[in-house]
């Protein structure tokens, strides 16, 4: 039986390998550093419309899981002018160091936290919006469920989480190639469909799950799976949706 400690230890081992790879001069590492910084417009095009689509405002209390260089965090904060400083969570110290170099805004710098999405260091019902991009492909199904459980815990009633990642094409050969493209630090990515992500979210008790349909993304040209899940307020009846 896999315990929480086993999962956390395995994740810590992966992040050490990832950080070593990320700091290297490997072409893939250099490309990823660009995509997570100046190339954010290409890798997360649809996020630019997220504030409008979800009717977000300055009262949004935002957590970005796997914030990396903080590009999504800065984008949404610049659009919304959040009254409460947004928070970015990442297991990688190297990424958080780069995020601080990228953004001299001390308000946002104070909101960068090192930690794991499967055991987040936040109180229950702290945020009303959670974003999580390109994290799940490095996790097994039990780790994804653990992350979804934590998302449900830290969301306030009525809060939403938008989660996206690389998805499968349905072609085994092409999927194998895409897994090689998105692999980092020797990890073996898992490409999951919208349906699979919704099922895993339902496994931990989310009664509200929807396709997010965040496409199009430009780079890399790999399908994306994206879902919205929520922590409904008291009396919520999903059958009436």
Structure confidence at residue 221 (pLDDT) = 72
Query: In this predicted model, what pLDDT tens digit does every residue of 2-41 receive, in sequence order?
Result: 554 555 566 666 666 656 555 666 655 555 555 556 555 5
Residue 237, pLDDT > 50, answer yes
Q: Domains in the chain and their CATH numbers?
A: 4-235 (3.40.50.150)
Residue 81, pLDDT > 90, answer yes
State the DSSP string of the chain.
Answer: ---HHHHHHHHHHHHHHHHHHHTS--HHHHHHHHHTTTTHHHHSGGGGGHHHHTT--TT--EEEET-TTSHHHHHHHHHH--SSPPEEEES-HHHHHHHHHH---HHHHTTEEE-BTTB-SS-TT-EEEEEEES-GGGS-HHHHHHHHHHHHHHEEEEEEEEEEEE---S-HHHHHHHHHHH--TT-------HHHHHHHHHHTT--EEEE-------SS---EEEEEEEEPPTT--GGG-
Structure confidence at residue 198 (pLDDT) = 96
């Amino acid at each position: 039986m896999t315990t929480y400690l086993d999962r956390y230890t395995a994740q810590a081992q992966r992040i050490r390998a990832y950080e070593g790879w990320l700091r290297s001069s490997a072409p893939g590492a250099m490309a990823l550093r660009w995509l997570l910084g100046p190339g954010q417009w290409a890798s997360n095009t649809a996020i630019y419309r997220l504030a409008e689509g979800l009717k977000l405002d300055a009262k949004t209390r935002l957590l970005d899981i796997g914030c990396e260089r903080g590009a999504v965090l800065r984008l949404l904060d610049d659009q919304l002018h959040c009254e409460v400083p947004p928070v970015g969570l990442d297991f990688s110290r190297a990424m958080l160091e780069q995020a601080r170099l990228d953004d001299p805004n001390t308000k946002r710098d104070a909101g960068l936290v090192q930690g794991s999405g499967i055991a987040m260091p936040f109180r229950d019902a702290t945020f009303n919006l959670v974003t999580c991009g390109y994290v799940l492909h490095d996790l097994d199904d039990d780790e994804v469920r653990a992350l979804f459980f934590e998302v449900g815990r830290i969301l306030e009633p009525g809060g939403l989480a938008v989660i996206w990642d690389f998805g499968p094409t349905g072609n085994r050969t092409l999927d194998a190639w895409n897994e090689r493209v998105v692999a980092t630090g020797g990890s073996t990515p898992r490409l999951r469909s919208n349906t699979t992500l919704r099922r895993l979210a339902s496994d931990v008790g989310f009664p509200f799950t929807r396709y997010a349909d965040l496409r199009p993304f430009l780079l890399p040209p790999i399908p994306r799976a994206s879902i919205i899940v929520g922590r409904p307020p008291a009396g919520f009846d999903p059958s009436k949706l």
